[in-house]
Structure 1
Amino acid sequence: MSNIGKFQDRNPGVRPAGVVTTIPDDSTRACVQPPPPRESTPEKIRKYRKSFNDEPGMKQIHYGIVDDPLPAETFTYGKKTYKSDHVHQIIGPNRNQGLGQFQTGLKEQKYASSIKEPLGKGFERGYSYPQEVNTSDFKFGQQTVPSESSKVLIFPPNGRREEPEEVRKLYFISHGVTEAGEQMSRNYNWPINKNDHRFGMPDPPELNGVAMALRPETYGSSHPKTEIIKKTVEDFRNANHEELGKSKNLGTGLNNADSNRVFGVPTYKEPWDAGQCIRGNPAPQELAPDKDLGKSTRFGFRNDFKPGDEVRQFGVPTIRNDIEKKSFKSVADPNNYGDEASVVQLLYPDYWLRFGINQSEFTRPRDVEEIRSLFEAIGMPMGKGKSITISNKAYDMFGVVSLESFIHGLRWYEERGLH
């Protein structure tokens, strides 16, 4: 029997207590008397489950060795270390002296390094120089022929050329070149006069800066205070520290030796002087050329000449005339096709480069009508017959009709009084 409509909610804004659930067995009895636990996984199957190694305190063990018996607690894993030389014997200095050193020297006499490079001496090739080499004014090499200095090439004395202002501006736009001492102007709209204004904050002037740097203890509060210490401390410092201009006191007492006395053992004087050490006294077999002179000692790189290769030039030429130049050269193309600028052109750029015209435009093959239109554009009109005659002469002289060859043909035409 339903109670709907029989009660009135006097506090509609208060949430009712408790939770309404439809889950079975979710009651107080189920909480006080929980059901018996479910059956666990059998031990013989449990080791194959992923949750076996995830339990707290469990070691990650493969299921194949879980049931294997462990060795005794006194069992030692690893391999036993064999006895060998100690560290101080390996790292320590070589004390091969006396008879042992003499025996080592006899064993090493057969090595080429001991013959050519004896211990304590330089590499001896055993060259036999003529008597002229022994003179004091002899010098190796070839005297450098004097030539023009790089300053004259880069900054010629008469290299300045007066140009119109509009031409100079075009050269600045194309190459970014300015005159010597010219200020770089980016045409900013400054609210101030940039020529009179100074940016930043000035440092306050400081008087007697050099005196303060040389004698800082006499200024301000940096003057050191006088401290009184014990005489034992002063004696310890004098005995353990080095005084300026004196050797360290090693506690051996006063040295009353003569000031001219020389300590140590005198150096053994060899019969050879510095000149003999440089020139040497080589044996005949040491003066002989190496057996592999002029031959490659690397396996696989011994290129022997074949019949007909005596005048052959190996390698790739610097200027690649053996391959065809593409119409549009890539930036990543490292080849030189013979059309790059020389050093003289880099130091003294051509006049037409200032207007963005490349030198190749004058040597490129052109049609006669195109050349006529270019001459008419600069105020030099010519007839069709005259242009054909000049172009034929240019082709006979240079084998191609271009602006450069056409100009030479025009000179030939005018020198003979033709019109």
Structure 2
Amino acid sequence: MAAAQLGTQTADTTVQAPRVASIDVFRGLTMLVMIFVNDLDAVKGLPWWTYHAPGNVNAMTYVDMVFPAFLFILGMAIPLAIEQRLRKVPSQAQLWKHVVSRSFSLLVLGLILANARAGDPALIHMKPHVWAILALLGGVLFWMVYPKAEEHKVLVRTLRFSGLALMIVMFAIFRRTAKDGSVAWIRTAYPEILGLLAFAYLTTCILYIPTRRWRWAPFAWLTVLTVFCCFCTVHWIEFPRHAGLYLWPFGNGSDTLIAMAGVATSIIFVGKQSAHWPTVRSKMTTAAAFAGICLVAAYLLTPLGISKIRATPTWSLYCVGSSILIFMLLYWICDVQRYTRWAAFARPAGANTLLTYLVPDFWYFILGALGITWFRTHFVSGVPGVLRSLIFTAFILGIVAVLTRWRVRLQL
């Protein structure tokens, strides 16, 4: 995301450094686990805690904490990105244009992934996997970070226009057969993880940007969102369930709650407002208290249920408290002690996140388009399946590292 000014402190002094390594490492490790658990989901015969907990039980597993960790780190990047953008272009109009554009871009990619297997080959005249590859390829061409050299301008514009045109054509020709047998267009009910991130990013910015000058504002918004989530969970407030994300992008408040907690954590550790916590000790003490409050609140709200599927406040706050503690540990290791070499395998994924997210999908769609089913019929249970998922994760991280070295990057 954005480069940030990090205070690397002794007990009484603050020295500016150019980058927050712990944010990239946290993001990279989250991507690593996300790739692993997504592939592991197809492996049978494993303990219950290796899968998402069912929605009809009050429980959560480590798998249920991966998406919230991504929301949390998305929130952490928001204050840094906004500071950097306003330094470059001090315009509120341009800032909001960027926020809306980025949200819409994530939503478009999410809808591509959500409909990747739903297309009717007889109606779109190609395999659904081919449609998905072409649509994502258009996104890659459009959102790729190209060289800024003057001699490449015409080529860059041509590639971007071609990517945009390809996406538009793929959306225009898409058709699917609905459950009642009728012909339907893009299914928008579930916009996939990227779409959920789009709504969380948009709603967090809606609340944070107008109030960003007050360092207490994210904590206040977090409290309001928690109360709202509680009211939705006990059905005292019903309209979010009926309105849908397109009319009410906050949903029941849980995703925005988690992202806002990331914003609050960010202002403790990095950026301009972190000067209010000038030493490592003050940052760690404040963050530990913040995490403790969230975990205690989660425990007290246990009667409302613990479920990722139902997006309960208890699940949200347990994930927030855990994410804060994990970030504190990474901050101490990576930014205070400057020990980052151990995380070299995850740094490319953390710095090139969107590409990392899309590479596994490209892999699955290419196999589907070629009719290769070997990976779905071998090593699909028990320990061999786990080893397969570990190897697959390492394979994807290796591809991302190579592409990043070749300067293939995506930025919305």
TM-score (norm 1): 0.17
Greater RCO structure (CA 8 Å; 6+ sep): 2
**Richer in helix (by share):** 2
Determine which structure has more spread, i.e. the larger CA radius of gyration: 1
